[in-house]
Structure 1
């Protein structure tokens, strides 16, 4: 995967003013657009689309301080108008292209990313592969923003709004792995951009043929493989670290890649104040 991401960086530079077809690129490299975007965002710390925008505006700065008219420069870097180009330029450099042409700056430089894999093996990952038939995730769903670190207050608010009797009712419905009350993230942006919206479901897993009460939301989950990581420690820090470590250590070292589908957290044990917890993190995968 590291080699694929570095090749993608090269292609972006070769076609800096064009939109690279990630679906086609990933297919020719023997992987998927979904996995490529998720791995890029996890390893680079920014969405692929944001990296492309920063690199374009870094390269475009050299043209802005030159003599070409702004419309020509805008089209050269994939924008249909000087206004659209100007908004992108200001978002990266903090000033308008007109100011830069007059004063020569200020400019912000965003260098090319290069990915390198270092396997230290100092922190073993407790993982297992599970094959599951199709099943359902049922419970109470809400749209929330994606937050990379710390507690998500919108999720906290959603869970707190459910009475204790509802938690017990959901537990009684659970009839398949992962067992018990679950924290489900679905419809996640492939770029994993912070602030983008996802569907959060507080609920349980049930077999595909199980009866689902009409007042509950349901997510259909396809048959397939899952990797399950066991995490333990400060919550949610240990869980969020597992997401990052899976991208930097587990996926590059194993013949699996992410596939579209929900990620699921099963809380096995926790402190009364939820400051620490032992969890199973379920991620949908397929052979690479």
Structure 2
């Protein structure tokens, strides 16, 4: 429950400071985690980015103020972080389907983006099976792409990166060297200042041979919680990540460690098959 309390406190902080400059790192500190991990966890739990949530909450409150008072549009725009009435009006219209001035007209229908709350989901007999593994440091070989979490760009950049390496034959060149974990997708080298991280596609390094074009990355020793996502990869992996953050972490005595996060895919098999198994490796620490 502690993680849910921290998330609730972070939402309280956002609500109290909607009319002030909100730094993501300050919000993340309330939840006792890095900015990157907080943004990732927030998106996994809510389906909306932290920046988008703040934007929609500000525009919701701004609409309420405009409809209930005679305050000037420019004053509301400045209050909620917009430098010009034009930028405010454009954002306002995208959310509400009308201009700020029209929001004052009787009968206008405004949209309200509600404040979030967090609860443990009760899934009945739907257990989450996992195992805890201690693994020494190891290396991976492959290719890396720097991606940003701004506006959820990583959600499209990573699948495109897989498509590129599958189509140009790079993943085929790695297959003869693949170890027991198969192919890996690794989030690492988190940069909180730039809102970026490196996403690596590769395999565990088990030989001195290095296929052409590969880089080598070090994965530190860690304690891992390993989950199995069963089903078509695009659905099963997302659903399992969601349950890890919304159900497993709140119900256990573990917290997310500041270390790489892995997804392991078998060498063979159809990733869209109903029985396909993807392993998700989460670095953890005991509270």
Q: Same fold (TM over 0.5)?
A: yes
Q: Is the 8 A contact 1:265 1:282 kept in 2?
A: yes
CA distance in structure 2 between the partners assigned to 1:252 and 1:273 by the alignment: 30
> Would the alpha carbon gap of residues 273 and 25 (structure 1) be closer, same or farther in structure 2, given more than 3 Å must change?
closer
**Counterpart for residue 37 of structure 1:** 39
> Which segment is superposed worse, 67-76 or 25-34?
25-34
| Alignment partner of 2:242 out of 244, 249, 265 | 244
Contact 1:35 1:259 in 2 (8 A): no
3-state SS of 2:276 partner: strand
Is 2:260 the counterpart of 1:281? no
Give, in whole Å, the separation in 2 of the partners of 1:186 and 1:80: 35
Unaligned runs of 5+ in 1: 191-195
**Partner of residue 16, structure 1:** 18
Any conservation in 1 of the 2:138–2:205 contact (CA below 8 Å)? Answer: yes
Counterpart-to-counterpart distance in 2, 1:280 and 1:50: 30
Q: 1:160 aligns with which of 152, 167, 177?
A: 167
Distance 1:273 1:17, change over 3 A: closer
Query: Is the partner of 2:205 in helix, strand or coil?
Result: strand
Q: Does 1:221 align with 2:219?
A: yes
In structure 2, runs of 5+ residues without a counterpart are 148-152
Contact 1:269 1:278 in 2 (8 A): no
1:108 is aligned to: 111
Equivalent position SS for 2:92:
helix
CA shift, 1:246, in A, is: 0.6
TM-score normalised by length of structure 1 = 0.78
108 and 78 in structure 1: CA distance in 2 versus 1, 3 angstrom threshold: same
Q: What residue in structure 2 maps to residue 80 of structure 1?
A: 83
Contact 1:34 1:259 in 2 (8 A): no
Coordinate RMSD, CA, aligned: 3.5
- Cα deviation, residue 199, structure 1: 5.0
> Contact between 2:166 and 2:172, CA under 8 Å: does it hold in 1?
no
Deviation at 1:250, TM superposition (A): 0.9
Asked whether 1:206 is paired with 2:205, we answer yes
Answer yes or no: is the 8 Å Cα contact 1:170–1:203 preserved in 2. no
Once the two structures are TM-superposed, the CA of residue 77 in structure 1 deviates from its matched residue by: 1.5
How many residue pairs match? The answer is 275
What displacement does 1:243 show? 1.0
- 1:186–1:164 Cα change, 3 Å: closer
C-alpha contact (below 8 Å) 1:34/1:260 kept by paired residues: no
In structure 1, distance between residues paired with 2:247 and 2:255: 12
How high is the TM-score relative to the length of structure 2? 0.78
